[in-house]
Amino acid sequence: MNNVVLIGRLTKDPEIRYTQDGMAIANFNLAIDRPPKKDGTKEADFPKVIVFGKQAENCGKFLAKGMLAGIQGRIQTGSYTNKNGDKVYTTEVVAERVEFLEWKDKKDNAQQSSFDDMGFQPVDDAEVPF
């Protein structure tokens, strides 16, 4: 079984490119916190994420550096030979599903919730019947 679920913040804006056939490919890295060590120090991992197709285009439109995203996909490894002749091994997450856990307006980089966009207003807990 090869299944990965990650939640983290983008380290930079997604990079979008297109294949010769016109399929979109988005690349970005997520910053994912590790559990704190016993001495309280914090560390993070920064896996590379690849997204294809319409989802990749949506990542380019709606995600930006610092935003929280959820990824469901699989681990993929590969290798290539660099210009020095050294073999370089790669590991990345191929996303099958991307959840935008924060929304933003690209024009002014202001974050906003999708509920605000739909006209919903927050409700006081005392008004909820359950």
Distance CA 52, CA 66 (A): 21
Per-residue pLDDT reduced to its tens digit, 11-45: 999 999 999 999 999 999 999 999 988 998 999 99
CA distance 50 to 66: 17
CATH superfamily of 4-127: Nucleic acid-binding proteins (2.40.50.140)
pTM of the model: 0.75
Name the residue ranges covered by the structural domains of the chain. 4-127
